[in-house]
Chains A and B, each alone.
Chain A
Amino acid sequence: MKIALFSDIHANLPALEAFFKDVDARKPDSIYCLGDLVGYNIWPNEVVDEIRKRKIPTIAGNYDFGIGRSSDDCGCAYKTDDEKANGAISISFTNQLVKDEQRQYLRTLPAHIKVEFQLNNDKTNLLLVHGSPRKINEYLFEDRDEKSLLRIMQDADADIMCFGHTHKPYHRVLEINDAGTVRFRHAINIGSVGKPKDGNSKGGYVILHIDENSSIRSKDSIKVEFIRFDYDIEKAARAVEESPLPNAYAESLRKGV
């Protein structure tokens, strides 16, 4: 069973189109979107429509949550005054662009999806969230303290937890030794299709491999494939520059930061 997971498209239509071309060729058995369809570029409606056209089960990201409610707050943790000023322009511009039908879609997206497997007489829960199970806009970075990450997964009853939001992909396998019985939990950040921030400007997503032998007791029985793909970055960057959006977002796309 090949499950494709993607997120953080952020209104970048050229990146989304390149993603679909790449993922279709890999023939996944199912496909889920982990949110943040809009913000930071000029194609929010087009991105929403492409994902709806394919009927992809999708959860809300923090930006979708904000735009869905016509809010001027995307729940983004901007640090500097410049970032805050740019962010205010982006959400105001996105609110102007997004049409009623697309806003309604964003407003009614589910917050979480849990896919419950019963393999090898065990239950294996795959939890899909945007930020964390606790908060749509909580950042789970790779250097998160192991105990904290385990507690979050335990509270959410998640064996495999997939999320986005930081735009920096990683896979951490967490080992639990419960009175001699070893089991594993997997924390997977799936990266970003349309706004990568890990220094690599290519779009990114994940294919998760689960088969009938997959088990929480065997570390390598769940495989995570990180895929990066080329797309027309210049087209996406120029669209930003030719719009009221801050030029800083174009540079972010070119540099993958």
Chain B
Amino acid sequence: MKIILFSDIHANLPALERALELLDLQKPDMMFCLGDLVGYHIWPNEVIAQIRRRGIATIAGNHDAKVGTLSPAQLEETGKNYAYKIISGENKDYLSALPAHIRLDFQLNGNTLRMLLVHGSPDSNDEYLLENKPEGKFLAVFNKADADILCFGHSHKRYYRILDTGNEPRRFKHAINTGSVGKPKDGNPQGGFVVLTISSNINVDFVRFDYDVEKAAVSLEESPLPTDLADMLRKAY
């Protein structure tokens, strides 16, 4: 079973279009989007249209969930809120009704393998699960959420960490950060997504791809959004 996971597009249409072309070439069996379709860029409606047109199962990121909570006055503020102001009414409704989590229960070789997809953490779409989280605390997150494989985004820094539960028989937990399609923050300006293969073992591949970063950066500079966002795309921070 080959599963594509991607997240944190952040209204970056050139990056999403390239990701969609490349992930088709992987011939995955299923695909999920882990949220943050909007914010920080000028193409939220176009990004949402691409995701909806393909019927991609998607969960809400903190930016997606935030849109419906902003007052008309807040939407008129100069700066970052312009990215939310331009979202159409129909797309706001779509974002407001997105689920928070998706769970998949696999039964392989007589064992149940529970996979949980969230945006930030199982507790909050705005909590960061960073790579250096202490092992004991990380295992507690898995136990509380009853998950063996936990997939999430939000930090825009991809990683795959295997945690040893220390139990006999030996059992492992898998933490997968999907990185970011449209706003990477790991110093590499390429977009990224994950190819997860579940069979007798678990395999995680990170795909990084070039896209027209300049087009995305210049469009930001020509928009009412803060211009430092363009520099962040070029340098990936």
Contacts and interface: CB of A to CB of B under 8 A. Distances in A.
Interface string A114-157: 11111100000010000000000000000000000000000000
Interface in B31-69: 31-32, 52-53, 55-58, 68
Nearest to A127: B103
Given A4-B55, A105-B1, A108-B198, A57 B97 contact: no
A31 interface: yes
A211 B97 contact: yes
Contacts of A211: 93, 96-97
Given A57-B32, A108-B198, A211-B93, A115 B99 contact: yes
B97 A110 contact: no
Interface in B83-126: 93-94, 96-108, 112, 115
A246 interface: no
B28 interface: yes
Interface in A1-58: 1, 4, 27-32, 52, 54-58
A111 B106 contact: yes
A211 B92 CA distance: 11
Nearest to B125: A118
Given A55-B28, A56-B30, A57-B57, A1 B105 contact: no
A52 B29 contact: yes
B32 A104 contact: no
A112 B199 contact: no
A108 B198 CA distance: 7
A212 interface: yes
B4 interface: yes
A212 B68 contact: yes
Contacts of A32: 57
A113 B104 contact: yes
B97 A30 contact: no
A29 B94 CA distance: 8
Nearest to A129: B105
A257 interface: no
Given A27-B52, A112-B105, A211-B93, A55 B30 contact: yes
Nearest to A31: B55
Contacts of A239: none
Contacts of A88: none
What bracket does the count of chain B residues touching chain A fall in?
Answer: 20 to 34
A74 B103 CA distance: 26
A118 B100 contact: yes
B114 to A, nearest CB: 10
Given A30-B56, A117-B100, A105 B107 contact: no
Interface in B17-34: 27-32
B100 A105 contact: no
Contacts of B198: 108
A116 B1 contact: no
Nearest to A107: B108
A201 interface: no
Contacts of B29: 52, 55, 58, 105
A104 B53 CA distance: 29
A90 interface: no
A89 interface: no
B58 A30 contact: yes
A95 interface: no
22 contacts: A4-B55, A29-B58, A55-B4, A55-B28, A57-B32, A104-B199, A105-B29, A108-B198, A109-B1, A110-B1, A110-B106, A111-B107, A113-B103, A114-B101, A115-B102, A116-B100, A116-B101, A116-B103, A117-B97, A211-B97, A212-B68, A212-B96
Given A30-B56, A60-B107, A119-B96, 6 more contacts: A29-B52, A55-B29, A55-B56, A56-B30, A116-B102, A212-B93
Interface of A: 1, 4, 27-32, 52, 54-58, 60, 104-105, 108-119, 126, 210-212, 214
